[in-house]
Amino acid sequence: TQLLEQSPQFLSIQEGENLTVYCNSSSVFSSLQWYRQEPGEGPVLLVTVVTGGEVKKLKRLTFQFGDARKDSSLHITAAQPGDTGLYLCAGAGRGSARQLTFGSGTQLTVLP
């Protein structure tokens, strides 16, 4: 069974601060996705990373896939209250199954 550990589990910061969320595993993933989920809604895809060492930027969000494809990070610059939500990483297994294993999530609160 592949496990994904996310840290921190909870994060409360002031508007304008920077933050990084980590997603770690001992398993290798063929790809990794980051989702953001608001209360009472389904997760919404932010990004998919596929290549080891890959860095993707989405406005103030920067995503990195580790060289060995076992870990990933999400960095938010100058956080805003609209960034508040549950951030989930999910890794796709290798082989034909390719199901997603979800991390435990990071609940981010950005205070105005």
Partner 1 sequence: EADIYQTPRYLVIGTGKKITLECSQTMGHDKMYWYQQDPGMELHLIHYSYGVNSTEKGDLSSESTVSRIRTEHFPLTLESARPSHTSQYLCASSGTGTDTQYFGPGTRLTVL
Q: Does 72 bind partner 1 (CB under 8 A)?
A: no
Contact flags string 7-36 toward partner 1, x per CB under 8 A: -----------------------xx-x-x-
Q: Is residue 76 involved in binding partner 1 (CB under 8 A)? A: no
Taking the complex as a whole, how short is the minimal distance between the CB of residue 17 and partner 1, in angstroms?
21
- Residue 62 φ then ψ, to 5°: -120, 125
Q: Does residue 112 interact with partner 1 by CB under 8 A? A: no
Assigned token pair, 53: 């060492």
Q: Distances in Å between the alpha carbon of 43 and those of 1, 16, 28, 52, 87?
A: 23, 24, 23, 24, 9
Question: Closest by alpha carbon to 87, among 99, 97, 75, 96?
Answer: 75
d(CA 82, CA 98): 32
Q: Least distance to partner 1 from the beta carbon of 67, Å?
A: 19
Residue from 104, 103, 86 nearest 27 by CA: 103
Q: CB count, 10 Å around CB of 49?
A: 21
* Contact window for partner 1 (CB under 8 A) among 20-28, 61-69, 70-78, 87-95: 87-95
CB of 31 to partner 1, least distance (A): 5
Binding-site ranges for partner 1 (CB under 8 A): 1, 30-31, 33, 35, 39-45, 48, 86, 88, 90, 92, 98-100, 102-105, 107
